[in-house]
Structure formats: structure tokens, C-alpha cells
Amino acid sequence: MDDQIKISVKSANFFYGSQQALHEVNISIRRCFVTALIGPSGCGKSTFLRALNRMNDLIPGTRLEGRVELDGQDVYSSSMDVIQLRRRVGMIFQRSNPFPMSIYENVAYGPRVNGLMKNRAELDVTVEKTLRSAALWDEVKDRLARSAMSLSGGQQQRLCIARALAVEPEVLLMDEPASALDPISTAKVEELIYELKRTYTIVIVTHNMQQAARVSDETGFFLNGRLVEFAETKKLFTAPAKRETEDYITGRFG
């Protein structure tokens, strides 16, 4: 087992019923790297992302063949505790989805359901720490008891990031986290990703190629359910090895 590799996917095939959405995907995601996944709509990048923390299990009739390993451990084996897996592999969704509760309760939710904290004081510390990590503390510290719904879209998304960080995950999966945000909020989220990569392994799905180029270390290009190319971000954007990749990043399709 290579210590540099956090997640390793080996010949993964994914099916929605009889329809195949991923074909023979092989990828190694490195620890404390930001890995970006790009590709046109419907290319399978979100399906792939959701396969990593088994969120696809929620959709009846889906099935994965092949292997997904987290620290060398088979994610799809029967001995894998899905609840524990999802605590270790956090997820940020395209549409920010804070619970209709207070800001505090949103962040405290994960630690509470996982029984991570012994008392209120400890929980208070975690809430403050994660809100600081998500660069939101200064904006909300005086209104923690207010509803999370009173925040702006960008703040809501950062709250979701704080909420995900509160359960001390090892990996963060981000499914187009900034696609619904204005440029200023997007910049803040990107800055945040840059900060977070020191501690977390991050996999980000994005439509925005500039974003992938800005935030990621390595980039994978998906097309029609296949991983066409996977390389260092700089290399993929300046000297792509495959013709399809070049066509896509130069805007010839997609």
C-alpha cells in the first residue's frame, strides 16, 4: 500500500439498473491533494464522486463492480461500516443544504449524531473551531442561534463545509460546490479549499475549468463514463495527452 495514496479505485464499473454510467475507471487520489474532476454534463463525474462514500447506495437498483479502497480498505466490502465510512469521507453538495435549524445546531449535528463530544463546552469549542476553518466565524459569531436559512447563499455553503468538517473527516468530496454562487463567494470557497488541503484530501467535481486549474493539484477528465485522462493539473491544461481532453478544454465541445 502506497502511503501517498488515500483513495484508490480499480476498474470500477457502475450501473443504474441496466444502464452503465462508469466504465473501467482507474484512479489514485493522493493524500492532501486537491483532485479535480472535469467533463461535460452526464459524463459520470458526479456518479463517480458519490461512489466514493457510497451515497449511490441510496438510489435503488444501482450497483458497482470493481474496487474502491480508502487507505487500502475495501469500501464496498460487507465488513465496511457505511456510517463510519461517511463520517470519514465528508461531502459538500452542489446546492447548499443547511438544515432548517440554527447555525450552531447545523455544525453541532454531525458531532452529536456520531457521539463525538462529551459535553456542551467541548461542542462549543468544536463549533467555533470548524466555523473558523470554514472562514465563517467572524460573520456569524454573534448570531449562532439564528436560523441557518437567514444566511446568504455563499455563507450557507461555507456553513455546509463547516458542518462537514465538524465530524473530523479525512476526505472531503465536493460536488460543484461553487456552481450556484456569485464570483465573490466562489473566490472565498476556493480560498478555503486551498487552506483545507493542508489537512484534508479533497476531491472536487466542477464544471468550471478555470476553477479546476486554480484549485487543484491533479485533474481527471471524464467523458461518457470513462476517465479519459488523469494528470497533474498544469500538464493536463497545457499539454493534454489525449485529443478529447484537448477538444474539451479548448472549448470545442461540452
Rounded CA separation 60/73 (Å): 24
Do 23 and 227 meet the contact criterion of CB atoms below 8 Å apart? no
Q: Which residue, 66, 73, 39, is CA-closest to 171?
A: 73
Query: How big is the site for another protein, counted in residues (CB under 8 A)?
Result: 27
User: In this chain, which of 97, 152, 210, 238 binds another protein, going by CB under 8 A?
Assistant: 97
The residue among 8, 50, 38 whose CA lies nearest residue 25 is: 8
The verdict on 87 binding another protein (CB under 8 A) reads yes
What does the alpha-carbon distance between residue 220 and residue 227 come to, in Å, rounded to a whole number?
7
Kindly state whether residue 183 participates in binding another protein, applying the rule CB under 8 A. Answer: no
Nearer to another protein, 12 or 49 (CB): 49
Q: Look up residue 84 and give its three cell numbers.
A: 463510519
Does residue number 129 form part of the binding site for another protein (CB under 8 A)? no
Alpha helices by DSSP H, 134-226:
137-140, 153-165, 183-196, 209-215
Residue closer to another protein by CB (options 113, 239) is 113
Q: Pick the closer one to another protein by CB: 16 or 109.
A: 109
CB of 32 to another protein, least distance (A): 21
> Least distance from C-beta 159 to another protein, angstroms?
11
Q: Minimum distance between the CB of residue 131 and another protein, rounded to whole angstroms?
A: 16
How many whole angstroms separate alpha carbon 131 and alpha carbon 122? 14
Query: Using CB under 8 A as the criterion, which residues of the chain lie in contact with another protein when the complex forms?
Result: 53, 55, 58, 60, 83-84, 86-88, 90-91, 93, 95, 97-100, 109-110, 113-114, 147, 149, 160, 163-164, 167
